[in-house]
Amino acid sequence: MADSNSQDFFQKLLKTFYEILKPAINMFSDDQARTELLGSLGITGTAAGTSTPSTGGLEAYINKADDEVEPFQLASAIADLTSVVMGIEGIIQAALASDDASDAGEHVAGELVTALLNLLTLDYLRRRHPEVHAVVELLDTLDESAVAAGGSVNFIKDYIGGFFKQIGKTFDTEESTTAVSDGLFMAISGGLFYLEHYLRSKGVKDLVISANYGFENVTSATTANADKITNRTFSYSLESKSRKKDKFFNTLVFVPKEQQGIGFVTELKGTFGDTISIDDKNKIDYEITGDGLFRIGNPSEVNEGKSNKILLVYTYENKDPKKISLLDKPAIRFAFGTVKLGLMVTPDDVLAKGILDIHYEFNKGGLTGFPFNFLPDDIKDKFPLGIGYSATKGFTVDGDGNIGTGSKSGSQDGAPTPPKTMAKTAEGGDAGGGAVEAIVAKLLNALHKQIPLHKNLGNIVGLDTLTLNLSADSALKNFQLEVSLDFWLKLGSVITITISRLGMTLNVKKLDGNGGILGYDLTPGIKWPTGAGVMVNAGVVKGGGFLYLDPDKGEYFGALELSFKGLFDLKAVGILNTIMPDGSKGFSMLIIITAEFSAVQLGFGFTLLGVGGLLGVNRRAEVEALRAGLKTNAIKSILFPEDVVGNINRIISDIKQIFPIQQDSFLIGIMGKIGWGTPTLISIELGIILQLPDPKILILGVIKLALPTEETAVVKIQVNFLGVIDFQNEFLYFEARLFDSHLVGFPLTGSLALVVAWGDNSTFGLSVGGFHPDFKDYPVVPTLPGAFRDMDRISLQLLSGDNPRLGIECYFAVTSNTVQFGAKAELLAEGSMGFNIYGMLSLDALFIFDPFSFSVKLEATLALRHHSSILYGIHFAGTLSGTTPWHIEGEVSFGILFATITIGFSTTWGEPSPGVPDETQDLLGLIQAELDKAANWKPIVPDFNNIHVTVRTLRDDEEVDLLIHPFGAIAFAQRTLPLNFDIKKYGNRKPLHDNETNFSITKIRIGEDELSFSAEKELFAVGNFEPLSEAEKLSRKSFEKLDGGIIISDSGKLTVAQSTLDASELDYELDYTYDDSVGKKPSVTKFPHGAFNNMIRGAAASQSNLSWKNVNKSPLNAPVKTKVVDQAYTVASSSNLAEFDQNLRSGSYAEVLQSLNNIIKTKPAMADDLQIVGVHELA
């Protein structure tokens, strides 16, 4: 018998199958053993006269060495193995036929054969691989009686499903969830402890791991339910000793079924990533980032950013894998190389995946003729095979060598690889199929390989890459084999054409009836190219272009770059879609064209360097993506992109994100490139884009300064900026960021943002480098939730590298009610053995206008440290606030080894605010004065109505205050005192009368008529009307919308003046112009009133789109327009977040806070039971 190490892959595979079947072959060969085996299957028949086929050819094949095997022997061995399986089925059918008590047919015989094969497989595992069988028994996930029930699909479903049932049923109740949490998380805690010690034993001492599970609760706890959750909460942290910024904290807890569904809640904070090399073959890569809480399960919830991610990858690198031989002529060998096992957790998914690198080798083995003459002598390559399980996608198989990322494979020319999965049958129905078929289909769909050829035929035709691609549906009823070629064709010395993936396809379809080849219909077809390119080298014109085609996705894009010698460079990028995101047929297009040329003088040293344009049909601008593009420089994919052919994939990816498809939306843009100086020292690339029909203007640009030249720049500053004028949402926004900038080699970073909003959400904000650390009332920009949230300090690193490090940073900001500025200098010099010198000096100042106050914080530190532990150091922190009174407080700390001495101080001086205890304000008089001011009353047009006339101005001799259109309404607005709000102070004064602190308008009458009205909101500085702590001044909004006016909408009752319409007489003139020689004078007559009214119905004014008949199709006083509230607050229970009273909801935090205080006044016992939450947080 040949040594197993000298056998090829097919010999080992068939030998395994033979050893599985051998017990059955032996038993069916003996009459008594056959009867006992059939009896165990429930068959009383004997199947006398039947026997299993001979296995001589199979045994001869599997016992030979690989160099002794002939190709035809493999076919003979497969035929013997097939005959054995069919022979076993024949014996069972014969036994069933001779069993008088059974009426089973072929269908039952097939199930019994499958059940027998399943049992034989388990028996093989028990005999040859007892460790695998022991694991199966230990997990208790497979019932052997279920195996005997038959069906390979049921076998797999019972085995895999049984495991998850064992785990899943432990999350039904609080007690069972606690039990599994105790076992799992305590094991993980011990594992992390062991991992840290193991890594240290291997010389990895930079990683510090801390873990904690549960806590020791007290018996008198008032939050028993919360304690239960906390007691099964697992937390751990990772920290790098050498990189102080690398810190990560993670908290994990399971949610039982009885608490709104089984789930897994995790909270991430920090950033951590590195590679741990255990030895030359084993390593661990980890990348952990996050800032928020999210839940995975049913239902899934995400409370904060989508950037949360945990990625762990173990790699075993097999540098010299042993090859397994498949054939000798031609020689085909393969080997299993590097293995990766990974886990990725995000708010959207949990992915566990294994990746195996499969190496293969192809050699012609001395064969000649077609097609071997066109193939390389020796092809050696590898491809990854990834198998994993995703919580959202289920079982996955792909050819991606990465964990948690999309496939990076593509065609030779850089075009993306078309999708490989056949999800539908030819008839368009669902593919269907069982579990086994689906797994096989996924494996087949993972077969995609590109073989480099690099053949040059007479320098006219070049063969670059041969692509083999196989796809199948999940029911294995439809297959498609693709054989395509990447090649180039030269047309003289001027033009070269490249074609990507042109070839043939073979479509294989399962027939419903008999016929075809083995029941399948084979249809060849043409594989149309996915891309085409052209290169031109004509002396005067040089350049090229590329076109990508994907009819299945309905997507086509391309790029063109031509240089006209001595004239200009032309670049164009375009994308066209014929299938919309919802799958419907449609049309969407975006084109960018630019032309750059030699400098054209404009005067004052300015030059015109280029022009361009943009056109988008059924495309809109995604401003948040543009904002992100300022930081990543994706804005350069739009403004005068560089190397459009080489960067086509990145440019198209950016365009898809920045300008997504949207029906009935259009984009029109112009671009210009302007320089200053000769040679150009400063260049400005500017684009203006108009979005219609909802008008929005985008201004985007790039400013570059390079001294002395861009190639040898000592000073380089690049500012990417974006401006937005949104007329529909009523705001103007501007943002700018420094990108890849430096001064004499020192990095320079920073950002700027400005917003001016008008209308109902009016606001103002300007920030250069961010805000005061304690300031939380960021300016709100409609439709841009990320604005002002991720700003970079204006910073300059004065030393290159990280050791030593000396940097300075600063910021300045102005909002509607504050001025802020600050600066910070930081020094770090590290020595050997973890010793370092650290120094820091910072200043943060905040001035609040209404009511006026300020706070200035100063902090300084100088220390000698070992890692982060202070050996000798001094630290000062102090705050100065004022102005009436002045107050300073802070502390000075001295640290010497393990001892720290802290001296605190707090001093107040100066006079308190004059007259605070005594001065009062007549609030009722203020509000009465506001009611008497004519400027506070104004006529308005009701919603859904248009009045195409102008109300005349009042004459000096008229004794009236206001003119109102008969169909209009009156609005009263003031910003002196809020209505329906308890006023505790007015600036620095207290109310004159304690019973005059809350004012409301309850009735409005004209004569005896009572008018209906509604409240209107105005912006008020809450700190003017109730005392706020220093912390509240920083954390709460400076201005909140409170009731400040009303709208009177009974327009019919508002018309109290006499009509001022003057009647005019109209004459009708008839002029007969058929014959001028008649000489008849035109006749002037009076029209009857009825005839006149009938005539004006068809007049031009009546038929106009602006006429009353066509415009006013809503009631005179139509209901107000529906508005979306940005944020709403309410009072809720502290224990279960149930809403206390729906009538207390308000868009103003101050109003809800007063409602809560009023409840506590009447029911003090509820002080700990109620809280203020956002409406979206309610249970």
pLDDT tens for 930-968 read: 998 888 888 887 665 666 667 777 777 777 777 777 667
Q: How confident is the model at residue 234, as a pLDDT?
A: 83
Which stretches within 584-739 are classed as H helix? 623-632, 648-658
Q: Are 62 and 11 in contact (CB under 8 A)?
A: yes
Q: Is the pLDDT of residue 640 over 90?
A: yes
Cα 596 to chain center, whole Å? 36
pLDDT one-digit tens code per residue, 606-620: 999 999 999 999 999
Q: How confident is the model at residue 778, as a pLDDT?
A: 86
Q: How confident is the model at residue 962, as a pLDDT?
A: 75
Q: Provide the β-strand partners of residue 344.
A: 311, 351
Give me 714's structure tokens. 């000592």
Q: How confident is the model at residue 416, as a pLDDT?
A: 38
The answer, yes or no, to whether the previous bond of 256 is cis (omega within 30 of 0) is: no
Cα 827 to Cα 804: distance, rounded to the nearest angstrom:
7
pLDDT one-digit tens code per residue, 261-270: 556 676 667 6
Tell me the residue length of the chain.
1179
Residues 184 and 52 in one domain: no
Q: How confident is the model at residue 158, as a pLDDT?
A: 47
Q: How confident is the model at residue 447, as a pLDDT?
A: 66
Cα 1179 to Cα 337: distance, rounded to the nearest angstrom:
52
Q: Is the pLDDT of residue 627 over 60?
A: yes
Residues 607 and 576 in one domain: yes
Q: Are 208 and 192 in contact (CB under 8 A)?
A: no
Q: Provide the β-strand partners of residue 860.
A: 841, 876
CA distances from 486 to 453, 536, 650, 927, 948 (A): 9, 19, 22, 82, 66
Q: Helix or strand or coil: residue 932?
A: helix
Cα 749 to Cα 717: distance, rounded to the nearest angstrom:
10
Residues 937 and 872 in one domain: no
Residues 281 and 213 in one domain: yes
Give a yes or no: residue 261 inside a domain: yes
Q: Provide the β-strand partners of residue 611.
A: 595, 672
Dump strand ranges (E) for 241-323.
247-255, 263-277, 282-297, 301-302, 309-316
Residues 961 and 1102 in one domain: yes
Q: How confident is the model at residue 913, as a pLDDT?
A: 54
pLDDT top residue among 241 and 907 = 907
Q: Taking the CB of residue 678, how many other CB atoms lie within 10 A of it?
A: 10
Q: How confident is the model at residue 992, as a pLDDT?
A: 87
Q: How confident is the model at residue 223, as a pLDDT?
A: 46
Average pLDDT (914-922) is 65
HSE-up of residue 955 (Cα within 13 Å, Cβ side): 2
Residues 701 and 790 in one domain: no
Instruction: Tell me which residue of 900, 881, 878, 901 sits closest to 890, measured CA to CA.
Output: 878
Average pLDDT (493-512) is 85
Q: Is the pLDDT of residue 512 over 90?
A: no
Give a yes or no: residue 104 inside a domain: yes
Lowest mean pLDDT among 385-399, 640-654, 1023-1037: 385-399
Give a yes or no: residue 285 inside a domain: yes
Range of the domain at 128: 4-169
Q: How confident is the model at residue 110, as a pLDDT?
A: 64
756's CB contacts (< 8 A; 6+ apart) are 731, 732, 763, 764
Q: How confident is the model at residue 827, as a pLDDT?
A: 92
pTM > 0.75: no
Instruction: Tell me which residue of 183, 123, 128, 178 sits closest to 148, measured CA to CA.
Output: 123
Residues 154 and 198 in one domain: no
Q: Is the pLDDT of residue 140 over 60?
A: no
Lowest mean pLDDT among 134-148, 502-516, 590-604, 1092-1106: 134-148
Q: Are 1042 and 1016 in contact (CB under 8 A)?
A: no
Say what percent of the chain tops pLDDT 90.
20
pLDDT one-digit tens code per residue, 745-771: 889 999 999 999 887 777 889 999 999
Average pLDDT (856-862) is 94
Average pLDDT (41-61) is 72
Q: Provide the β-strand partners of residue 909.
A: 886
Instruction: Tell me the three-class secondary structure of 527-592, residue by residue.
Output: ECCCEEEEEEECCCEEEEEEEEEECCCCEEEEEEEEEECCCEEEEEEEEEEEECCCCCEEEEEEEE
Instruction: Tell me which residue of 900, 884, 890, 904 sits closest to 860, measured CA to CA.
Output: 890
User: Which residue in the block uniquely carries the two structure tokens 């003729």?
Assistant: 369
Q: Where among 902, 925, 940 does a domain terminate?
A: 902
pLDDT one-digit tens code per residue, 223-234: 455 556 667 788
Average pLDDT (785-800) is 88
Q: Where among 154, 169, 184 does a domain terminate?
A: 169
Give a yes or no: residue 395 inside a domain: no
Average pLDDT (964-980) is 84
Give a yes or no: residue 691 inside a domain: yes
Give a yes or no: residue 201 inside a domain: yes
Average pLDDT (993-1021) is 86
Q: Is the pLDDT of residue 405 over 70?
A: no
Count of domains forming the chain:
6
Residues 1052 and 937 in one domain: yes
| Mean pLDDT (the chain, rounded) | 78
Which of the given ranges, 158-167, 251-260, 333-342, has the highest pLDDT on average? 333-342
Give me 520's structure tokens. 């399948």
Q: Provide the β-strand partners of residue 840.
A: 826, 861
Give a yes or no: residue 1166 inside a domain: yes
Q: How confident is the model at residue 46 (pLDDT cuts 50, 70, 90)?
A: low
Give a yes or no: residue 580 inside a domain: yes
Residues 140 and 229 in one domain: no
pLDDT one-digit tens code per residue, 692-708: 988 999 999 999 998 88
Q: Provide the β-strand partners of residue 1143.
A: none
Q: How confident is the model at residue 1012 (pLDDT cuts 50, 70, 90)?
A: confident
Residues 1043 and 930 in one domain: yes
806's CB contacts (< 8 A; 6+ apart) are 797, 798, 799, 825, 826, 827, 828
Q: DSSP string spanning 434-470?
A: -HHHHHHHHHHHT-EEEEEEEEEETTTEEEEEEEEEE
pLDDT top residue among 454 and 562 = 562
Average pLDDT (1146-1150) is 84
pLDDT top residue among 1128 and 378 = 1128
Residues 1112 and 1166 in one domain: no
Pairing of strands 331-345, 324-328: antiparallel
Q: Where among 121, 154, 169 does a domain terminate?
A: 169
Instruction: Tell me the three-class secondary structure of 588-620, residue by residue.
Output: EEEEEEEEEEEEEEEECCEEEEEEEEEEEEEEC
Long-range contacts of 927-936 (CB under 8 A, 24+ apart): 927/974, 927/976, 927/977, 927/999, 930/974, 930/976, 930/977, 931/972, 933/974, 934/961, 934/962, 936/972, 936/973, 936/974, 936/1045
Q: Taking the CB of residue 352, how many other CB atoms lie within 10 A of it?
A: 15
pLDDT top residue among 819 and 188 = 819
Q: Taking the CB of residue 104, how many other CB atoms lie within 10 A of it?
A: 16
Residues 129 and 202 in one domain: no
Q: How confident is the model at residue 754, as a pLDDT?
A: 95
Cα 740 to Cα 894: distance, rounded to the nearest angstrom:
41
Q: How confident is the model at residue 161, as a pLDDT?
A: 43
Q: Is the pLDDT of residue 432 over 60?
A: no
